[in-house]
Amino acid sequence: MLWQKKITLLDFQTYINYFQGFSSITILTILAITSNDFSVKRLKQNWKKLHKLTYLLIFLLPWHILDKMNGHWTHITPLAVLIMTINLILFLQRKSIEQIQAQGKGV
Ligand code: HEM
């Protein structure tokens, strides 16, 4: 993609233009590196906090895809948008279940 679109990593503007993509890949790298028993033990409560970064991807990736594919969708784009929509629905459903459970406990 970098080669095809002639995107240079040496220009600061690239990081501004692809802010959502670079943020997503950074988050995914952090999650991949810390997805092991050693990190869970070492980071303790911070591990859970760190892995909450996953939730940012639910918003960053659809933003990235819709922004970058605006006006020139390929055969991959509808599939990507469908997956992002399912993710968002599951996230909202989970949040609503958590809220109902919290109300039940009087929190
Ligand atoms: C894990 C991180 C990323 C994911 C999951 C991701 C995913 C995607 C997806 C699904 C598309 C739509 C492709 C299509 O419909 O054909 C897309 C488009 C695009 N992405 Fe990313 N991306 C990520 C990171 C990045 C980064 C870091 C860059 C920049 C260096 C980037 C540059 C682009 C560009 C230029 C397009 C438009 C492609 C086109 O016009 O055909 N992406 N990305």
pLDDT-derived band of residue 24, with 50, 70 and 90 as boundaries?
Answer: very high
| CA pair distance 41, 8, nearest whole angstrom | 39
**What's the gap in Å between 66 CA and the centre of ligand 1?**
10
Q: Give residue 49's domain range.
A: 12-104
If one counts the domains in the chain, the total is: 1
Instruction: Decide if 40 is inside a domain.
Output: yes
pLDDT-derived band of residue 105, with 50, 70 and 90 as boundaries?
Answer: confident
**So what's the pLDDT on residue 106?**
74
| CA pair distance 107, 101, nearest whole angstrom | 9
**What's the gap in Å between 29 CA and the centre of ligand 1?**
16
The overall average pLDDT reported for the chain is: 95
| CA pair distance 38, 33, nearest whole angstrom | 10
Element containing residue 76 per DSSP (H, E): none
| pLDDT at 107 exceeding the cut of 80 | no
**So what's the pLDDT on residue 73?**
97
Take atom 26 of ligand 1 and give the residue whose Cα is closest.
Answer: 21
Q: Per residue in 27-71, pLDDT tens?
A: 999 999 999 999 999 999 999 999 999 999 999 999 999 999 999
Instruction: Decide if 7 is inside a domain.
Output: no
**So what's the pLDDT on residue 1?**
87
| pLDDT at 25 exceeding the cut of 80 | yes
What residue ranges line ligand 1, CB within 6 angstroms? 1-2, 5, 7, 18, 21-22, 24-25, 28, 61, 64-65, 68-69, 72, 74, 76-77, 80
Instruction: Decide if 50 is inside a domain.
Output: yes
What's the number of CA atoms in the CB half-sphere (13 Å) around residue 54?
12
